[in-house]
Amino acid sequence: MSIPVRLRAFRPSWLSPKVLRTEVLAGLVVALALIPEAISFSIIAGVDPAIGLFASFTMAVTIAVVGGRPAMISAATGAVALVIAPLNRQHGFGYLVAAVILAGVFQIALGALGVGRLMRFIPRSVMVGFVNSLAVLVFLAQVPELRSVPWAVYPLLAAGLALLVLFPRITTAVPAPLVSIAILTVITVAAGIAVPTVGDKGALPSSLPVPGLPDVPFTLATLTTVAPYAFAMALVGLMESLMTAKLVDEITDTVSSKTRESIGQGVANIVTGFFGGMGGCAMIGQTMINVKVSGARTRLSTFLAGVFLMVLCIAFGPVVSDIPMAALVAVMIMVCFATFDWHSIAPGTLRRMPAGEITVMVVTVVCVVATHNLAVGVVAGSVTAMVIFAKRVARLADVTAVTDPDGGQVVYAVSGQLFFASSNEIVGRFDYAGDPDKVVIDLSAAHIWDASSVAALDAIEHRYAQRGKTVEITGLNGPSARLHKTLSGELATAD
């Protein structure tokens, strides 16, 4: 085997010319889309636009190395900005930076404790609602850019959408978003069309961020002030990042390390804090541009998105400032349509889908859109799914009675899953007054899950004992027998 062939065998996949071109162009498109978003989120947090841009740079570059989900984009986000904005208003920028660093520490601790494994408990209907609500939020975020603007914005938007739809039919060698942004920029500049541009969002930074410590007193009082905000930021950031990672896993048909991603988010926020950034987490819209629209699959695109962001701001600031917002709005609208799960609301799907699944999806979407917080929607949807599941499983618990021919005893066969939602129901299924003196409760087809079920069995025995009758419980499987033995008689008897 020749040396060049050997080198190709050990070459990373992203070094192949085709993959490298895809990753580089994807990183450039994402960088262009990040600029106005980062500036907007800076305004929400009440900080200088450069702070959001610095955060997007350090988050993307760091997570590309330490994250667990290749090709996912992390940067300054609106969810994080909303959490830390009150802290900045009340105590100042130094406290905000301290909260970002502490949030990173919390995320590392939560990641090490295995919070990433909780993602397996997120139902598919919540995931679908999460994706659909994301698409709705991204679309709603573009609406202000189309209000009270010069009429020329609308034909530019239409032209951008046409390019995004038609150009991939000609070639996919160059991402359609990059072509659309470039063409619309040239048209507006050459024709002198006065429309809102990236530069109207705020001044771009002219130098790289410098590391340093937050300007706060290192006291217990400072810690107690920033800790609640830091913990809230850690939870919101992890939830959005892990949900995005799960979505990318499904799109790319690959598996990522949720534990590494959780810890990586913490590391990225710590680095961002020391560089004076506002912190962040995974960005779903930009991730969809990177993965679904541009076809990126490796860490290189994420790394280059951060690098290109700073290069564009520092070296090509005047050019980037001239990009019309209509071009970026067109890209984000296409991302919305590509992200939304249209199959989930098709009439055929809705007819076949259980009502409970549809309810969970709708609750998730409504809560996210109403609060503009993806974490709230995921929690609400998951709780709704658990309640519906508990009610559904509780109905499967049943009690049937068979009395011996001689009337000496009655055998109650209990089947199903006994837990808090079902065990209380079975208490009323026994004929305490009419049954003979000996009662057998056969649990061969049942399983005891919690203390509520043990307490219900104790209540049944207690009611029979009040009437001078004896109860024998049989057929317990191993785990149920151990739980019953441990708790029976130790719980307050219900009557």
341-384 pLDDT, tens digit per residue, is: 898 999 988 898 889 999 999 999 999 888 877 778 888 999 99
Q: What is the pLDDT of residue 6?
A: 55
Q: What is the pLDDT of residue 13?
A: 64
More confident call, 336 vs 225? 225
- In angstroms, the Cα distances linking 105 to 147, 326, 375 are 41, 39, 20
More confident call, 407 vs 177? 177
Q: What is the pLDDT of residue 11?
A: 59
Q: Cα–Cα–Cα angle for 125, 129, 135, nearest 5°? A: 150
Mean pLDDT for the chain overall: 88
Q: What is the mean pLDDT of residues 196-224?
A: 90
Q: What is the pLDDT of residue 279?
A: 94
Quick check: 100 and 45 in contact, CB under 8 A? no
- Nearest-angstrom CA–CA distance, 244 and 288: 9
State both tokens at 345: 């609301």
What's the pLDDT band for 423 if we cut at 50, 70, 90? Answer: confident
Quick check: 207 and 332 in contact, CB under 8 A? no
Q: What is the mean pLDDT of residues 6-30?
A: 76
Lowest mean pLDDT among 105-109, 298-302, 391-395: 391-395
What's the pLDDT band for 261 if we cut at 50, 70, 90? Answer: very high
Q: What is the pLDDT of residue 7?
A: 47
Residue 273 reports pLDDT greater than 50: yes
Instruction: Write the CB contacts of 114 (distance below 8 Å, at least 6 apart in sequence).
Output: 259
Q: What is the pLDDT of residue 144?
A: 87
Q: What is the pLDDT of residue 2?
A: 55
Q: What is the pLDDT of residue 48?
A: 87
Residue 4 reports pLDDT greater than 80: no
Name the residue among 209, 213, 210 with its Cα closest to residue 270. Answer: 213
- Listed as own residue / partner, the contacts of 457-464 with beta carbons closer than 8 Å and 24 or more positions apart are 457/423, 457/484, 457/488, 458/488, 458/489, 458/491, 458/493, 458/494, 459/427, 459/493, 459/494, 459/495, 460/427, 460/430, 462/493, 462/494, 462/495, 463/430, 463/432, 463/495, 464/430, 464/432, 464/435, 464/439
Q: What is the pLDDT of residue 494?
A: 47
Residue 411 φ/ψ, nearest 5 degrees: -115, 120
Q: What is the mean pLDDT of residues 209-218?
A: 92
Percent of the chain surpassing pLDDT 70 = 96
Q: What is the pLDDT of residue 127?
A: 85
Residue 492 reports pLDDT greater than 70: no
Quick check: 64 and 306 in contact, CB under 8 A? yes
More confident call, 4 vs 488? 488
Q: What is the pLDDT of residue 460?
A: 93
Residue 260 reports pLDDT greater than 90: yes
Q: What is the pLDDT of residue 201?
A: 81
More confident call, 412 vs 240? 412
- Nearest-angstrom CA–CA distance, 105 and 100: 9
| pLDDT tens-digit series, residues 110-122 | 999 988 887 777 8
Percent of the chain surpassing pLDDT 90 = 53
Name the residue among 26, 133, 39 with its Cα closest to residue 325. Answer: 39
Residue with tokens 């009662």: 439
| pLDDT tens-digit series, residues 177-189 | 888 989 999 999 9
Q: What is the pLDDT of residue 328?
A: 86
Lowest mean pLDDT among 67-76, 134-143, 361-370: 134-143
